[in-house]
Amino acid sequence: MPGLPHPFQVIGTDAGGLASLPPAAVRLLCNAEAIAAPQRLLDSLPQWWSDQQHGDRPLPQLQASDRPDALIGWLRSQNAPVVILASGDPLWFGIGRRLLQAFPAETLHFHPAPCSMQLAFARIGRPWQDATWVSLHGRSPEALASALQNRPAALAVLTDPGQGGAAPVRQILRSSGLEASYAVWVCENLGHRDERVMRLASNAPLPPDLQPLLLVLLIAEDPPLPERLPLFGLEDGVFLQHPDRPGLMTKREVRLQLLADLELPAEGVLWDLGAGTGSVGLEALRLRPRLQLL
């Protein structure tokens, strides 16, 4: 391609960084005239390079990739083989998208490492072909509420530590009335030595020592067997809600008060006007099965 004789090699790394690059990626890196990488990887490059090259070749030009605009400007000035190191899959919420906006696809060769979502599903041992995902990076947590409207079987949430990390995930799940419908897994520092993957008990507070690098998996739970349900005071998530308006229902606490105040007779007709989810009427019938519900 005129002006760009050498394609850019974009290589994903896992938590092991340079130490766990596969041989093909090591070869590309060793042939590079210039290398761009996040600062945390750049710091370890000189030592890695001297270990690899045994002092034969000088260290290539190095460039931090943390600021995408500066990276693009620098890449435009290159006319020799360049390697760009990224984390995980560069095409999954990584630098890949920004590079493709700046350069033709033919000039970019991608070599992904497993992405954090893959690692998370591997850790909990669940297939992920039915999974979907949402990123809360720089976005309002309402993006999660929208994603939940489709009641995904499994949802990976990329969290933004600057916006509260896992806390808004919990909060949106609760306000959507879906807390009983999803198992919550918090996956911290995947692949790192201090990796931690845990399933949160519903209603348990978030651990105070959560790490900033974390991903939350929401896994749909099977509805509880009817005989396991309490007589009344069912969790909101047990009810089938309008998929486009989850959470828009009379909440459990209010239903409890209503059911007490109604002082339901054993028999008669109960009119549930404007029933959307029908939760009040349905709970009333569990208490008073001989009522007629309209």
Ligand X SMILES: C[S@@+](CC[C@H](N)C(=O)[O-])C[C@H]1O[C@@H](n2cnc3c(N)ncnc32)[C@H](O)[C@@H]1O
- Write out the residues near ligand X by the rule CB under 6 A: 15, 87-89, 92-94, 115-116, 137, 158-159, 187, 189-191, 213-215
Tell me whether residue 11 or residue 259 sits nearer to ligand X (CB atom): 11
**E strand spans, 79-164:** 82-87, 108-111, 131-135, 154-158
Tell me whether residue 6 or residue 196 sits nearer to ligand X (CB atom): 196
* Rounded Cα–Cα distance for residues 154 and 151 (Å): 9
The one-letter code for the residue type at 213 is: L
**Nearest residue to ligand X, by Cβ distance, number only:** 88
Among the listed residues 178, 187, 128, 192, the one whose alpha carbon sits nearest the alpha carbon of residue 157: 187
* Rounded Cα–Cα distance for residues 166 and 159 (Å): 6
Tell me whether residue 89 or residue 283 sits nearer to ligand X (CB atom): 89
Q: Which two tokens stand for residue 29?
A: 């890196």
Q: Provide the minimum distance between the beta carbon of 39 and ligand X in the complex, in angstroms, as a whole number.
A: 15
Q: Provide the minimum distance between the beta carbon of 93 and ligand X in the complex, in angstroms, as a whole number.
A: 4
- Asked if residues 190 and 119 have their Cβ atoms less than 8 Å apart, the reply is yes
Tell me whether residue 28 or residue 213 sits nearer to ligand X (CB atom): 213
Tell me whether residue 137 or residue 245 sits nearer to ligand X (CB atom): 137
Q: Provide the minimum distance between the beta carbon of 115 and ligand X in the complex, in angstroms, as a whole number.
A: 3
* Rounded Cα–Cα distance for residues 117 and 66 (Å): 22
Q: Provide the minimum distance between the beta carbon of 84 and ligand X in the complex, in angstroms, as a whole number.
A: 13
* Rounded Cα–Cα distance for residues 56 and 54 (Å): 6
Q: Provide the minimum distance between the beta carbon of 199 and ligand X in the complex, in angstroms, as a whole number.
A: 15
